[in-house]
Amino acid sequence: MGLRAAEFTDPSPPTVAPGAPPAPAVPAANPDAVVHAAPRPDSPGARGVDWPHFLGPAHNQTSPETGLRAAFPAGGPALVWAMPKGEGYAGPVIAGERLVLFHRVGSEEVVECLHARDGRRFWRVDYPTAYRDRYGYNPGPRASPAIADGRVFTFGAEGRLHCIDLASGRIEWRRDLHAEFRVPRNFFGVGASPLVVGDVVILQLGAPGGPGVAAFDVATGRLRWGAEREWGPSYATPVPATWRGRPRVLVFAGGESRPPTGGLLVLDPVTGAVDARFPWRGTRYESVNAAAPLALAEGVFISECYGSGGALVTAAPDGTAVVAWTNRSFGVHFMSAVQLGELLVGVHGHGPQDAEFVAVEVATGREVWRDQPVWTETVAEARGPREIRTGLFRASLLVADGQVLALGEFGHLARLEVSRAGLRVRERAWLFAATETWTPPALSRGLLYVCQNTRDAVAGTPPRLLCYDLRGD
């Protein structure tokens, strides 16, 4: 039996838009989007799927897509379309032909629904924001949208939650959760993306005294349950999992607190009852838990890069959480690790210069190898060509069709060969020379979507959403 979910009062249930939503929006010409080339036809027998929420269809940066190209063409993947984007680190999500982008343009947070194949616009929703990042990072939204059952859920940097009809763009309901629950600002504002399970949307809320985690009815926006009074909200997105044969939600909590506290929570998505708690947090005050838990057949992998490192947590016979192994030298920051057979592979380290690819055994946590791929690029400047040392560093991994792709934080896309013997960069393309490429890529129906979050230092292009063709022959 799990611990009983705490009882919390809903301070301000929202008003739901009356009546049926308008007719579905029709895509219109988007003056901001530039189409470069039509995508190739799907290869025979190719399987394409949606990418409806952060970390993709399986919540682990892997996809069952098939029919991808086995190698990049000369010059790198073909650019299908591109559109300038505002500030923020939220990634695009895709359901069918509709792509939803959440970003900040000027003093507004903007939700746009675009045609996934060519960037035409279905609808746009915007509202004012005054968020400023205390550490000087860009002030746009950090949490990616979630699409479920014809609805879009967005959770802005200041804690505003919106439920929007995907077809029409009508706002069904909205809440200013941080104002309603008197939530203090966390290190970097709101960062954990929403998770929809059944008929609730689950969020890390972090209200003082609780709820730390809350579930809201997808149709009405009303609070369904709250849980956790001690641990604050982290930047790690909740994920669904099976715990002792039952469907559960994994929350890797841990926000701003003195002393730093947090760890893994295993929750019942229907009641909010807590099955298990496992403390796991670095001791440094300005530490964050940021990488989403990774649900495995062997247990749950959690990791942070401020001292504690990684751990595999399993369920004891009584349902409590116990540690199977720990590895202080496998500390993942905000880039999720992936499972590749008997290996866990991820990027260890806090900053770009100490970021290393590491592989450990799933069963034991023992390190198999460690590598930091670097190379030299030649940059054309007015005074002549200049060579710079660069690499993947804090890279996001994506696994699909038997391939491992890595999006490096300075704009490189690489195809990796990974085995017990080590890591090899089979090929790479420099998509843009921009920093803060921290948004994981999204893949749907053979098209790869990449966020360029800062200006290209070589070409001068502004931040953009880019769509690349990875379809095979």
What percent of the chain has pLDDT above 70? 99
How many percent of the chain have pLDDT more than 90?
A: 94
Please report the pLDDT score of residue 380 as a whole number: 86
Query: What is the rounded distance in angstroms from the CA atom of residue 98 to the CA atom of residue 141?
Result: 20
Q: What is the mean pLDDT of the chain?
A: 96
Res 46 pLDDT > 70: yes
Phi-psi region of 318 (alpha: psi -120 to 50; beta: other; left: phi over 0): alpha
* pLDDT-based confidence at residue 206 (cuts at 50, 70, 90): very high
Between 58 and 1, the more confident residue is: 58
pLDDT at 86 over 50: yes
pTM of the complete model: 0.97
Specify the pLDDT at position 1.
Answer: 41
How does strand 93-95 pair with strand 78-84?
unpaired
Range 137-142 average pLDDT:
95
In the predicted model, what is the mean pLDDT of residues 181-185? Answer: 93
Q: Which is nearest to 243 in space by CA: 307, 292, 203, 299? A: 299
Measure the CA–CA gap between 116 and 449, rounded to whole angstroms.
9
Tokens of 395: 């890279």
Write down the pLDDT at residue 344. Answer: 98
* pLDDT higher than 90, residue 4: no
Which of 317-321, 413-417, 469-473 tops mean pLDDT?
413-417
- Residue 410 pLDDT more than 60? yes
Q: Provide the pLDDT confidence category of residue 3 given band limits of 50, 70 and 90.
A: low
The answer on pLDDT for 6 being more than 80 is no
Domains of the chain are 34-469 (2.140.10.10)
Neighbours of 105 (CB within 10 A): 17
CB 80 within 8 A of CB 116: no
* Residue 6 neighbours by CB under 8 Å, 6+ apart: 210, 211, 226, 227, 228, 229, 272
